[in-house]
Amino acid sequence: MQKKTVTLALFAILLLSMTVLTTTARGADDGEIEASGAAAVAYLASKQSIDGSWGSANQIATTGLVLLKFVVRAQELGLDPFDNDPLSPTYYEYADNTTAGFSYLWSSASDVPIGPQTNGDPDTNVNGKGICFGDSVYYTGIALTALAISGHPDDRSATIGTLGLLTYREIAQDIADWLYFAQGDIGNDRGGFNYDALDNVTERTDNSNGGYAYLGLAFAEDPPFDCTVPDWVRDELNIYIDYIQNDVNGDTNDGGSGYDNPNGWVNILKTGNLIFEMAFYGDTPDTPRVQDAVNYLERHWQDPNTDPGWGYSLAVANYQAKFLVEKGLTYMGITELDTDGDGIDEDWFNQEPPAIPAQDIASVIVQQQLPSGSWPNSDWDGGDGLLSTAWAVLALEGFAPPRELARAPKAVFTESIDTPKVREQVRFDATSSQPGWNHTDIPITEYRWDFGDGNKTTTNTPVTYHSYEEAGIYYVTLTVYAPGTTPDTDTSPAQRKTVSTVPVGGYTVPFSIVTTATALTAYFALTVVGLASTTTVATVATAIYVRRVKRRKDNQ
Protein backbone atom coordinates (compact mmCIF):
# COMPACT_ATOMS: atom_id res chain seq x y z
CA MET A 1 0.00 0.00 0.00
CA GLN A 2 2.73 2.36 1.01
CA LYS A 3 4.71 1.36 -2.01
CA LYS A 4 1.72 2.12 -4.17
CA THR A 5 1.38 5.54 -2.57
CA VAL A 6 4.99 6.33 -3.32
CA THR A 7 4.49 5.22 -6.88
CA LEU A 8 1.42 7.39 -7.18
CA ALA A 9 3.31 10.31 -5.69
CA LEU A 10 6.14 9.83 -8.16
CA PHE A 11 3.61 9.64 -10.94
CA ALA A 12 2.01 12.86 -9.72
CA ILE A 13 5.38 14.59 -9.64
CA LEU A 14 6.09 13.33 -13.10
CA LEU A 15 2.75 14.64 -14.32
CA LEU A 16 3.42 17.95 -12.61
CA SER A 17 6.82 18.30 -14.23
CA MET A 18 5.37 17.42 -17.62
CA THR A 19 2.74 20.08 -17.09
CA VAL A 20 5.42 22.58 -16.18
CA LEU A 21 7.36 21.65 -19.30
CA THR A 22 4.43 22.14 -21.61
CA THR A 23 3.16 25.36 -20.11
CA THR A 24 6.52 27.11 -19.73
CA ALA A 25 7.01 27.72 -23.41
CA ARG A 26 10.51 28.59 -24.41
CA GLY A 27 11.09 31.67 -26.42
CA ALA A 28 13.30 31.33 -29.44
CA ASP A 29 15.90 34.01 -28.90
CA ASP A 30 18.79 34.45 -31.31
CA GLY A 31 21.06 32.24 -29.23
CA GLU A 32 18.52 29.43 -29.22
CA ILE A 33 17.95 29.71 -32.95
CA GLU A 34 21.70 29.56 -33.48
CA ALA A 35 22.07 26.56 -31.17
CA SER A 36 19.17 24.85 -32.89
CA GLY A 37 20.72 25.36 -36.31
CA ALA A 38 24.14 24.15 -35.14
CA ALA A 39 22.66 20.98 -33.67
CA ALA A 40 20.63 20.35 -36.81
CA VAL A 41 23.64 20.69 -39.10
CA ALA A 42 25.69 18.35 -36.93
CA TYR A 43 22.86 15.82 -37.04
CA LEU A 44 22.48 16.12 -40.81
CA ALA A 45 26.23 15.77 -41.35
CA SER A 46 26.10 12.46 -39.47
CA LYS A 47 23.36 11.20 -41.80
CA GLN A 48 25.09 11.81 -45.13
CA SER A 49 25.28 8.71 -47.31
CA ILE A 50 28.57 7.46 -48.74
CA ASP A 51 27.63 8.79 -52.21
CA GLY A 52 27.20 12.31 -50.83
CA SER A 53 23.40 12.23 -50.81
CA TRP A 54 20.93 12.45 -48.00
CA GLY A 55 17.76 10.44 -47.53
CA SER A 56 16.41 7.10 -48.59
CA ALA A 57 13.45 8.13 -50.73
CA ASN A 58 13.47 11.61 -52.28
CA GLN A 59 17.26 11.71 -52.38
CA ILE A 60 17.70 14.60 -54.79
CA ALA A 61 15.15 16.78 -53.02
CA THR A 62 16.50 15.90 -49.60
CA THR A 63 20.08 16.46 -50.69
CA GLY A 64 19.22 19.82 -52.24
CA LEU A 65 17.38 21.05 -49.16
CA VAL A 66 20.11 19.86 -46.79
CA LEU A 67 22.74 21.54 -48.97
CA LEU A 68 20.77 24.76 -48.74
CA LYS A 69 21.18 24.65 -45.00
CA PHE A 70 24.87 23.76 -45.17
CA VAL A 71 25.57 26.64 -47.53
CA VAL A 72 23.50 29.20 -45.64
CA ARG A 73 25.11 28.25 -42.36
CA ALA A 74 28.59 28.78 -43.80
CA GLN A 75 27.56 32.18 -45.11
CA GLU A 76 26.04 33.18 -41.78
CA LEU A 77 29.36 32.39 -40.15
CA GLY A 78 31.26 34.36 -42.81
CA LEU A 79 32.85 31.17 -44.14
CA ASP A 80 33.17 29.63 -47.58
CA PRO A 81 30.90 26.58 -47.85
CA PHE A 82 33.53 24.78 -49.98
CA ASP A 83 36.68 25.78 -48.09
CA ASN A 84 38.12 22.67 -46.44
CA ASP A 85 41.55 24.08 -45.63
CA PRO A 86 41.77 24.23 -41.83
CA LEU A 87 44.41 26.96 -42.06
CA SER A 88 42.22 29.22 -44.20
CA PRO A 89 40.31 32.06 -42.52
CA THR A 90 37.15 30.96 -44.34
CA TYR A 91 37.51 27.29 -43.40
CA TYR A 92 34.15 25.57 -42.92
CA GLU A 93 34.00 22.36 -40.95
CA TYR A 94 31.28 20.96 -43.21
CA ALA A 95 32.97 21.90 -46.51
CA ASP A 96 33.61 18.27 -47.45
CA ASN A 97 29.97 17.43 -46.77
CA THR A 98 28.91 20.32 -48.99
CA THR A 99 31.25 19.36 -51.82
CA ALA A 100 30.16 15.72 -51.69
CA GLY A 101 26.50 16.75 -51.69
CA PHE A 102 26.92 18.84 -54.82
CA SER A 103 28.89 16.03 -56.46
CA TYR A 104 25.90 13.77 -55.87
CA LEU A 105 23.61 16.35 -57.45
CA TRP A 106 25.80 16.57 -60.54
CA SER A 107 25.80 12.80 -60.86
CA SER A 108 21.98 12.98 -60.90
CA ALA A 109 21.77 15.73 -63.53
CA SER A 110 21.00 15.15 -67.16
CA ASP A 111 20.99 17.45 -70.16
CA VAL A 112 18.00 17.26 -72.45
CA PRO A 113 17.07 18.96 -75.72
CA ILE A 114 14.60 21.81 -75.36
CA GLY A 115 12.73 23.63 -78.11
CA PRO A 116 10.48 26.68 -78.54
CA GLN A 117 7.31 26.75 -76.47
CA THR A 118 3.90 28.24 -77.21
CA ASN A 119 4.67 31.50 -75.43
CA GLY A 120 8.39 31.92 -75.97
CA ASP A 121 11.81 30.35 -76.41
CA PRO A 122 13.13 28.82 -73.19
CA ASP A 123 16.69 28.35 -74.45
CA THR A 124 18.16 31.65 -73.27
CA ASN A 125 21.79 30.66 -73.87
CA VAL A 126 21.04 29.15 -77.28
CA ASN A 127 22.72 25.79 -76.80
CA GLY A 128 19.57 23.77 -77.49
CA LYS A 129 19.75 22.19 -74.04
CA GLY A 130 18.33 22.37 -70.57
CA ILE A 131 19.49 20.55 -67.43
CA CYS A 132 17.10 18.68 -65.17
CA PHE A 133 17.22 16.27 -62.27
CA GLY A 134 15.23 13.08 -62.64
CA ASP A 135 12.92 14.86 -65.12
CA SER A 136 11.32 16.28 -61.98
CA VAL A 137 10.27 19.89 -61.45
CA TYR A 138 10.46 19.38 -57.67
CA TYR A 139 13.99 18.08 -57.76
CA THR A 140 15.15 20.56 -60.36
CA GLY A 141 13.72 23.59 -58.55
CA ILE A 142 15.33 22.53 -55.28
CA ALA A 143 18.68 21.75 -56.93
CA LEU A 144 18.65 25.16 -58.60
CA THR A 145 17.96 26.86 -55.27
CA ALA A 146 20.90 25.12 -53.62
CA LEU A 147 23.18 25.92 -56.56
CA ALA A 148 22.14 29.56 -56.85
CA ILE A 149 22.76 30.20 -53.18
CA SER A 150 26.23 28.59 -53.26
CA GLY A 151 27.96 31.87 -54.05
CA HIS A 152 30.39 30.38 -56.60
CA PRO A 153 29.13 31.13 -60.12
CA ASP A 154 32.46 31.14 -61.95
CA ASP A 155 35.19 29.47 -59.94
CA ARG A 156 33.51 26.11 -59.53
CA SER A 157 32.46 23.72 -62.26
CA ALA A 158 31.09 20.26 -62.90
CA THR A 159 30.67 17.90 -65.84
CA ILE A 160 27.07 17.47 -66.99
CA GLY A 161 26.32 14.79 -69.58
CA THR A 162 27.08 15.72 -73.15
CA LEU A 163 27.51 19.39 -72.19
CA GLY A 164 30.87 18.58 -70.62
CA LEU A 165 32.56 20.82 -68.07
CA LEU A 166 30.39 23.82 -67.13
CA THR A 167 30.77 26.56 -64.55
CA TYR A 168 28.17 26.69 -61.83
CA ARG A 169 26.74 29.77 -63.56
CA GLU A 170 26.40 27.89 -66.86
CA ILE A 171 24.76 24.99 -65.08
CA ALA A 172 22.33 27.32 -63.34
CA GLN A 173 21.29 28.93 -66.62
CA ASP A 174 20.63 25.61 -68.30
CA ILE A 175 18.64 24.42 -65.28
CA ALA A 176 16.61 27.62 -65.51
CA ASP A 177 16.18 27.06 -69.26
CA TRP A 178 14.76 23.62 -68.55
CA LEU A 179 12.27 25.10 -66.09
CA TYR A 180 11.14 27.66 -68.71
CA PHE A 181 10.71 24.70 -71.05
CA ALA A 182 8.80 22.73 -68.39
CA GLN A 183 6.42 25.60 -67.57
CA GLY A 184 2.81 24.98 -68.62
CA ASP A 185 1.87 26.45 -71.99
CA ILE A 186 -1.82 26.08 -72.71
CA GLY A 187 -5.15 26.88 -71.06
CA ASN A 188 -5.22 26.50 -67.29
CA ASP A 189 -1.70 25.06 -67.37
CA ARG A 190 -0.25 28.42 -68.40
CA GLY A 191 2.50 29.50 -66.00
CA GLY A 192 2.10 26.47 -63.73
CA PHE A 193 4.22 23.34 -63.35
CA ASN A 194 3.50 19.62 -63.42
CA TYR A 195 5.83 16.98 -61.98
CA ASP A 196 7.51 16.60 -65.37
CA ALA A 197 8.09 19.01 -68.24
CA LEU A 198 5.10 20.25 -70.25
CA ASP A 199 6.38 20.48 -73.81
CA ASN A 200 3.49 22.28 -75.52
CA VAL A 201 1.02 19.77 -74.19
CA THR A 202 -2.01 20.14 -71.94
CA GLU A 203 -1.83 17.94 -68.84
CA ARG A 204 -2.11 19.40 -65.39
CA THR A 205 -0.19 21.69 -63.07
CA ASP A 206 -0.17 22.21 -59.31
CA ASN A 207 1.12 24.87 -56.97
CA SER A 208 3.25 22.54 -54.96
CA ASN A 209 5.48 21.86 -57.96
CA GLY A 210 5.18 25.48 -59.02
CA GLY A 211 6.38 26.77 -55.68
CA TYR A 212 9.69 24.92 -55.89
CA ALA A 213 10.27 25.89 -59.52
CA TYR A 214 9.85 29.59 -58.82
CA LEU A 215 11.89 29.33 -55.62
CA GLY A 216 14.87 28.19 -57.69
CA LEU A 217 14.33 30.76 -60.43
CA ALA A 218 14.07 33.65 -57.98
CA PHE A 219 17.42 32.80 -56.38
CA ALA A 220 19.06 32.13 -59.75
CA GLU A 221 18.01 35.46 -61.24
CA ASP A 222 19.72 37.48 -58.53
CA PRO A 223 23.41 38.13 -58.02
CA PRO A 224 25.84 36.54 -58.12
CA PHE A 225 24.37 34.06 -60.63
CA ASP A 226 22.40 36.64 -62.62
CA CYS A 227 20.54 34.06 -64.66
CA THR A 228 18.36 35.37 -67.44
CA VAL A 229 14.62 35.12 -66.87
CA PRO A 230 12.68 35.87 -70.07
CA ASP A 231 9.85 38.36 -69.71
CA TRP A 232 7.38 35.85 -71.15
CA VAL A 233 8.05 33.43 -68.29
CA ARG A 234 6.97 36.12 -65.83
CA ASP A 235 3.97 37.05 -67.94
CA GLU A 236 2.88 33.41 -67.85
CA LEU A 237 3.39 33.33 -64.08
CA ASN A 238 1.10 36.33 -63.75
CA ILE A 239 -1.63 34.44 -65.60
CA TYR A 240 -1.08 31.45 -63.35
CA ILE A 241 -1.28 33.49 -60.14
CA ASP A 242 -4.61 34.91 -61.21
CA TYR A 243 -5.85 31.43 -62.05
CA ILE A 244 -4.73 29.43 -59.01
CA GLN A 245 -5.68 32.01 -56.35
CA ASN A 246 -9.12 31.34 -54.91
CA ASP A 247 -11.56 34.11 -55.79
CA VAL A 248 -12.68 36.37 -52.97
CA ASN A 249 -16.40 35.69 -52.69
CA GLY A 250 -16.96 35.18 -48.99
CA ASP A 251 -15.94 31.57 -48.45
CA THR A 252 -13.21 30.14 -46.25
CA ASN A 253 -10.75 29.69 -49.13
CA ASP A 254 -10.75 33.32 -50.27
CA GLY A 255 -7.31 34.48 -51.39
CA GLY A 256 -5.55 31.18 -50.76
CA SER A 257 -3.89 28.97 -53.34
CA GLY A 258 -5.55 25.86 -54.66
CA TYR A 259 -3.66 22.74 -55.69
CA ASP A 260 -4.41 21.99 -59.35
CA ASN A 261 -7.40 24.31 -59.54
CA PRO A 262 -8.36 27.42 -57.56
CA ASN A 263 -11.10 25.70 -55.56
CA GLY A 264 -9.50 22.41 -54.61
CA TRP A 265 -7.25 21.67 -51.63
CA VAL A 266 -6.54 25.27 -50.65
CA ASN A 267 -4.10 25.49 -47.74
CA ILE A 268 -1.39 27.52 -46.02
CA LEU A 269 1.47 25.56 -47.60
CA LYS A 270 0.47 26.44 -51.15
CA THR A 271 -0.49 29.98 -50.15
CA GLY A 272 3.11 30.39 -48.99
CA ASN A 273 4.14 29.40 -52.51
CA LEU A 274 1.57 31.78 -53.98
CA ILE A 275 2.93 34.77 -52.04
CA PHE A 276 6.46 33.84 -53.10
CA GLU A 277 5.36 33.71 -56.73
CA MET A 278 3.62 37.08 -56.41
CA ALA A 279 6.86 38.58 -55.10
CA PHE A 280 8.82 37.02 -57.96
CA TYR A 281 6.35 38.46 -60.42
CA GLY A 282 6.75 41.92 -58.89
CA ASP A 283 3.74 42.36 -56.61
CA THR A 284 4.24 44.27 -53.37
CA PRO A 285 2.55 43.96 -49.97
CA ASP A 286 0.11 46.64 -51.13
CA THR A 287 -1.02 44.69 -54.19
CA PRO A 288 -4.68 43.71 -53.61
CA ARG A 289 -4.17 40.04 -54.49
CA VAL A 290 -1.25 39.87 -52.02
CA GLN A 291 -3.49 41.29 -49.30
CA ASP A 292 -6.10 38.67 -50.17
CA ALA A 293 -3.49 35.95 -49.72
CA VAL A 294 -2.29 37.41 -46.41
CA ASN A 295 -5.90 37.57 -45.22
CA TYR A 296 -6.15 33.87 -45.99
CA LEU A 297 -3.05 33.15 -43.87
CA GLU A 298 -4.47 35.17 -40.99
CA ARG A 299 -7.83 33.40 -41.09
CA HIS A 300 -6.17 29.97 -41.01
CA TRP A 301 -3.06 30.73 -38.91
CA GLN A 302 -4.56 29.06 -35.82
CA ASP A 303 -6.28 26.16 -37.56
CA PRO A 304 -5.67 23.18 -35.24
CA ASN A 305 -4.41 20.92 -38.04
CA THR A 306 -1.53 20.56 -40.48
CA ASP A 307 -3.74 21.02 -43.53
CA PRO A 308 -4.99 23.61 -44.29
CA GLY A 309 -3.14 24.97 -41.23
CA TRP A 310 0.57 24.72 -40.45
CA GLY A 311 0.15 22.73 -37.29
CA TYR A 312 -0.33 25.50 -34.81
CA SER A 313 -0.65 23.98 -31.33
CA LEU A 314 0.06 20.41 -32.47
CA ALA A 315 2.94 18.32 -31.13
CA VAL A 316 4.35 17.97 -34.65
CA ALA A 317 3.84 20.91 -36.98
CA ASN A 318 3.83 20.85 -40.78
CA TYR A 319 7.45 21.87 -41.32
CA GLN A 320 7.17 22.06 -45.08
CA ALA A 321 4.25 24.47 -44.78
CA LYS A 322 6.25 26.56 -42.32
CA PHE A 323 9.27 26.63 -44.64
CA LEU A 324 7.23 27.74 -47.64
CA VAL A 325 5.23 30.34 -45.72
CA GLU A 326 8.44 31.72 -44.24
CA LYS A 327 9.97 32.00 -47.71
CA GLY A 328 6.90 33.64 -49.20
CA LEU A 329 6.44 36.25 -46.48
CA THR A 330 10.16 37.00 -46.19
CA TYR A 331 10.57 37.43 -49.93
CA MET A 332 7.50 39.65 -50.07
CA GLY A 333 8.91 41.75 -47.24
CA ILE A 334 6.00 41.15 -44.86
CA THR A 335 7.24 40.99 -41.26
CA GLU A 336 3.95 41.11 -39.38
CA LEU A 337 0.47 39.73 -39.65
CA ASP A 338 -2.33 39.09 -37.20
CA THR A 339 -1.46 35.68 -35.76
CA ASP A 340 -4.16 35.63 -33.08
CA GLY A 341 -7.16 37.21 -34.74
CA ASP A 342 -7.41 40.27 -32.50
CA GLY A 343 -7.00 42.70 -35.38
CA ILE A 344 -3.49 43.75 -34.35
CA ASP A 345 -0.45 42.54 -36.30
CA GLU A 346 2.34 40.61 -34.64
CA ASP A 347 5.76 39.29 -35.66
CA TRP A 348 4.81 36.02 -37.33
CA PHE A 349 8.39 34.72 -37.29
CA ASN A 350 9.46 35.07 -33.69
CA GLN A 351 7.47 36.39 -30.74
CA GLU A 352 9.32 37.05 -27.51
CA PRO A 353 7.94 35.92 -25.20
CA PRO A 354 5.97 33.47 -27.29
CA ALA A 355 2.26 33.02 -26.76
CA ILE A 356 1.03 29.85 -25.04
CA PRO A 357 0.85 27.77 -27.11
CA ALA A 358 3.36 29.51 -29.34
CA GLN A 359 1.92 30.89 -32.55
CA ASP A 360 5.09 32.07 -34.28
CA ILE A 361 7.26 30.03 -36.63
CA ALA A 362 10.55 30.09 -34.74
CA SER A 363 9.33 29.31 -31.22
CA VAL A 364 7.36 26.28 -32.37
CA ILE A 365 10.30 24.87 -34.30
CA VAL A 366 12.76 25.36 -31.47
CA GLN A 367 10.32 23.75 -29.04
CA GLN A 368 9.80 20.71 -31.24
CA GLN A 369 13.46 19.93 -31.97
CA LEU A 370 14.49 16.53 -30.64
CA PRO A 371 17.60 16.02 -28.46
CA SER A 372 19.38 14.48 -31.47
CA GLY A 373 19.15 17.84 -33.30
CA SER A 374 16.53 16.47 -35.70
CA TRP A 375 12.80 17.02 -35.93
CA PRO A 376 10.07 14.34 -35.89
CA ASN A 377 8.50 12.95 -39.05
CA SER A 378 5.95 15.38 -40.39
CA ASP A 379 3.55 15.57 -43.32
CA TRP A 380 5.12 14.64 -46.65
CA ASP A 381 8.32 13.28 -45.13
CA GLY A 382 9.53 10.13 -46.86
CA GLY A 383 9.86 8.39 -43.51
CA ASP A 384 13.45 8.96 -42.40
CA GLY A 385 12.78 12.39 -40.90
CA LEU A 386 15.49 14.05 -42.97
CA LEU A 387 13.10 16.10 -45.08
CA SER A 388 11.30 17.20 -41.91
CA THR A 389 14.60 18.20 -40.36
CA ALA A 390 15.64 20.12 -43.46
CA TRP A 391 12.31 21.93 -43.76
CA ALA A 392 12.25 22.77 -40.05
CA VAL A 393 15.78 24.12 -39.85
CA LEU A 394 15.33 26.05 -43.11
CA ALA A 395 12.14 27.63 -41.78
CA LEU A 396 14.29 29.02 -38.96
CA GLU A 397 16.27 30.95 -41.57
CA GLY A 398 15.17 34.34 -42.74
CA PHE A 399 16.96 34.01 -46.07
CA ALA A 400 15.22 34.99 -49.28
CA PRO A 401 16.41 36.27 -52.63
CA PRO A 402 17.22 39.96 -52.69
CA ARG A 403 14.07 41.73 -53.77
CA GLU A 404 14.40 43.16 -57.23
CA LEU A 405 11.77 45.82 -57.70
CA ALA A 406 13.63 47.21 -60.66
CA ARG A 407 17.04 46.83 -62.16
CA ALA A 408 19.35 49.50 -63.41
CA PRO A 409 20.83 49.28 -66.87
CA LYS A 410 24.38 47.99 -67.20
CA ALA A 411 26.95 50.22 -68.85
CA VAL A 412 29.50 48.37 -70.95
CA PHE A 413 31.73 49.77 -73.66
CA THR A 414 34.71 48.93 -75.79
CA GLU A 415 37.27 51.05 -77.61
CA SER A 416 38.64 50.61 -81.09
CA ILE A 417 42.25 51.28 -80.09
CA ASP A 418 44.04 50.04 -77.02
CA THR A 419 46.80 52.61 -76.98
CA PRO A 420 45.92 55.53 -79.22
CA LYS A 421 48.37 58.18 -80.23
CA VAL A 422 47.82 61.83 -79.47
CA ARG A 423 45.01 63.18 -81.69
CA GLU A 424 44.19 59.71 -82.96
CA GLN A 425 40.46 59.20 -83.16
CA VAL A 426 39.11 56.45 -80.88
CA ARG A 427 35.75 54.82 -81.42
CA PHE A 428 33.83 54.14 -78.21
CA ASP A 429 31.09 51.56 -78.55
CA ALA A 430 28.47 50.95 -75.83
CA THR A 431 26.33 48.57 -77.87
CA SER A 432 26.81 45.83 -75.30
CA SER A 433 25.18 47.87 -72.56
CA GLN A 434 22.05 46.31 -71.18
CA PRO A 435 18.71 48.01 -70.71
CA GLY A 436 17.09 48.59 -67.36
CA TRP A 437 14.32 46.35 -66.21
CA ASN A 438 11.16 46.67 -64.22
CA HIS A 439 9.39 43.47 -65.18
CA THR A 440 9.90 44.60 -68.73
CA ASP A 441 12.94 46.09 -70.44
CA ILE A 442 13.58 49.82 -70.06
CA PRO A 443 15.62 51.01 -73.06
CA ILE A 444 18.67 53.21 -72.57
CA THR A 445 17.87 56.74 -73.72
CA GLU A 446 21.14 58.54 -72.95
CA TYR A 447 24.81 57.65 -73.01
CA ARG A 448 26.83 60.21 -71.09
CA TRP A 449 30.54 60.02 -71.79
CA ASP A 450 33.26 61.61 -69.71
CA PHE A 451 36.54 61.13 -71.50
CA GLY A 452 38.63 62.02 -68.49
CA ASP A 453 40.43 64.94 -70.14
CA GLY A 454 37.78 67.53 -69.38
CA ASN A 455 35.70 66.65 -72.43
CA LYS A 456 32.23 65.21 -72.03
CA THR A 457 29.46 64.36 -74.44
CA THR A 458 25.96 62.92 -74.31
CA THR A 459 24.55 60.77 -77.09
CA ASN A 460 21.35 58.83 -77.58
CA THR A 461 23.06 56.19 -79.66
CA PRO A 462 25.75 53.89 -78.30
CA VAL A 463 28.73 54.92 -80.47
CA THR A 464 30.87 58.04 -80.20
CA TYR A 465 34.40 59.20 -81.14
CA HIS A 466 37.06 61.11 -79.30
CA SER A 467 40.75 61.94 -79.52
CA TYR A 468 43.23 63.22 -76.96
CA GLU A 469 45.45 66.24 -77.20
CA GLU A 470 47.90 65.25 -74.51
CA ALA A 471 49.62 62.05 -73.50
CA GLY A 472 48.62 60.63 -70.14
CA ILE A 473 46.33 58.28 -68.38
CA TYR A 474 42.63 59.14 -68.64
CA TYR A 475 39.70 57.56 -66.93
CA VAL A 476 36.81 57.27 -69.33
CA THR A 477 33.39 57.09 -67.78
CA LEU A 478 30.15 56.02 -69.38
CA THR A 479 26.86 56.47 -67.63
CA VAL A 480 23.73 55.09 -69.23
CA TYR A 481 20.26 56.30 -68.41
CA ALA A 482 16.98 54.44 -68.69
CA PRO A 483 13.82 56.23 -67.58
CA GLY A 484 12.48 54.70 -64.39
CA THR A 485 8.97 53.68 -63.66
CA THR A 486 8.57 54.16 -59.93
CA PRO A 487 7.31 57.63 -59.10
CA ASP A 488 7.83 57.76 -55.33
CA THR A 489 11.58 57.66 -55.38
CA ASP A 490 12.16 59.61 -52.18
CA THR A 491 10.62 57.05 -49.87
CA SER A 492 11.74 53.69 -51.15
CA PRO A 493 15.14 52.67 -49.79
CA ALA A 494 16.01 50.86 -52.99
CA GLN A 495 15.54 54.06 -54.97
CA ARG A 496 18.01 56.11 -53.04
CA LYS A 497 21.25 54.24 -53.64
CA THR A 498 24.17 56.49 -54.32
CA VAL A 499 25.38 56.10 -57.89
CA SER A 500 28.51 54.00 -57.83
CA THR A 501 31.10 56.05 -59.60
CA VAL A 502 34.25 54.62 -60.90
CA PRO A 503 37.58 54.11 -59.31
CA VAL A 504 38.81 57.51 -60.45
CA GLY A 505 42.55 57.59 -60.01
CA GLY A 506 42.37 54.21 -58.36
CA TYR A 507 43.48 51.87 -61.09
CA THR A 508 46.99 51.29 -62.27
CA VAL A 509 45.94 48.35 -64.40
CA PRO A 510 47.12 48.59 -68.01
CA PHE A 511 44.37 49.66 -70.36
CA SER A 512 44.82 46.60 -72.50
CA ILE A 513 43.58 44.51 -69.58
CA VAL A 514 40.80 46.66 -68.25
CA THR A 515 38.42 47.44 -71.04
CA THR A 516 35.03 47.16 -69.44
CA ALA A 517 33.60 46.91 -66.01
CA THR A 518 30.13 46.65 -64.59
CA ALA A 519 28.88 49.05 -62.01
CA LEU A 520 28.66 47.58 -58.55
CA THR A 521 25.23 49.08 -58.22
CA ALA A 522 23.78 47.65 -61.38
CA TYR A 523 21.17 45.68 -59.52
CA PHE A 524 19.39 48.48 -57.84
CA ALA A 525 17.10 51.09 -59.18
CA LEU A 526 19.07 54.25 -58.79
CA THR A 527 17.91 57.78 -58.62
CA VAL A 528 19.94 60.81 -59.47
CA VAL A 529 18.50 63.70 -57.55
CA GLY A 530 18.13 66.72 -59.73
CA LEU A 531 17.30 65.00 -62.96
CA ALA A 532 14.03 65.94 -64.50
CA SER A 533 12.60 62.48 -64.12
CA THR A 534 13.29 59.36 -62.17
CA THR A 535 16.15 57.66 -63.86
CA THR A 536 17.95 54.41 -63.44
CA VAL A 537 21.65 54.66 -63.86
CA ALA A 538 24.66 52.47 -64.23
CA THR A 539 28.22 53.60 -64.62
CA VAL A 540 31.32 52.00 -65.96
CA ALA A 541 34.78 53.30 -66.51
CA THR A 542 38.08 52.32 -67.94
CA ALA A 543 41.55 53.76 -67.97
CA ILE A 544 43.07 54.80 -71.23
CA TYR A 545 46.74 55.45 -71.73
CA VAL A 546 47.53 57.73 -74.60
CA ARG A 547 51.12 57.33 -75.69
CA ARG A 548 53.07 60.34 -76.83
CA VAL A 549 55.00 59.43 -79.90
CA LYS A 550 58.14 61.49 -80.33
CA ARG A 551 57.93 63.69 -83.38
CA ARG A 552 61.40 62.97 -84.56
CA LYS A 553 60.56 59.32 -84.59
CA ASP A 554 57.43 60.07 -86.62
CA ASN A 555 59.62 61.84 -89.13
CA GLN A 556 61.94 58.95 -89.67
Instruction: Provide the binding-site residues for Ca ion, judged by CB under 5 A.
Output: 117, 123, 125, 127, 129, 174, 177, 183, 185, 198, 246-247, 249, 251, 253-254, 338, 340, 342, 344, 346
Residue 282 and residue 271 in contact, taking contact as beta carbons nearer than 8 Å? no
Minimum distance between the CB of residue 350 and Ca ion, rounded to whole angstroms? 15
Q: Which is nearer to Ca ion, 297 or 519 (CB)?
A: 297
Q: Which is nearer to Ca ion, 174 or 415 (CB)?
A: 174
Report the candidate in 148, 142, 277, 255 with the shortest Cα–Cα distance to residue 207: 277
Q: Which is nearer to Ca ion, 98 or 351 (CB)?
A: 351
Minimum distance between the CB of residue 174 and Ca ion, rounded to whole angstroms? 5
Q: How many helices (H) and strands (E) does the chain have?
A: 14, 15
Minimum distance between the CB of residue 355 and Ca ion, rounded to whole angstroms? 10
Residue 478 and residue 504 in contact, taking contact as beta carbons nearer than 8 Å? no
In three-state form (DSSP H/G/I as H, E/B as E, the rest C), the secondary structure along 386-398 is HHHHHHHHHHCCC
Minimum distance between the CB of residue 101 and Ca ion, rounded to whole angstroms? 24
Q: Which is nearer to Ca ion, 247 or 352 (CB)?
A: 247
Q: Which is nearer to Ca ion, 299 or 466 (CB)?
A: 299
Residue 58 and residue 212 in contact, taking contact as beta carbons nearer than 8 Å? no
Closest residue by beta carbon to Ca ion: 177
Any idea of the CA torsion for 526, 531, 534, 538, to the nearest 10 degrees? -30
Minimum distance between the CB of residue 370 and Ca ion, rounded to whole angstroms? 30
Minimum distance between the CB of residue 223 and Ca ion, rounded to whole angstroms? 20
Report the candidate in 185, 167, 161 with the shortest Cα–Cα distance to residue 113: 161
Q: Which is nearer to Ca ion, 170 or 404 (CB)?
A: 170
Minimum distance between the CB of residue 163 and Ca ion, rounded to whole angstroms? 9
Q: Which is nearer to Ca ion, 63 or 339 (CB)?
A: 339
Q: Which is nearer to Ca ion, 32 or 170 (CB)?
A: 170
Indicate the residue type of 497.
Answer: K
Any idea of the CA torsion for 77, 83, 84, 88, to the nearest 10 degrees? -80
Report the alpha-carbon distance of residue 351 to residue 360 in Å, rounded.
Answer: 6
526: β partners: 497
Minimum distance between the CB of residue 321 and Ca ion, rounded to whole angstroms? 20
Residue 385 and residue 393 in contact, taking contact as beta carbons nearer than 8 Å? no
Q: Which residues, other chains included, contact 225 with Cβ-Cβ below 8 Å and sequence gap of 6+? A: 147, 148, 153, 168, 169, 172, 219
Helix, strand, or coil here: 448?
strand
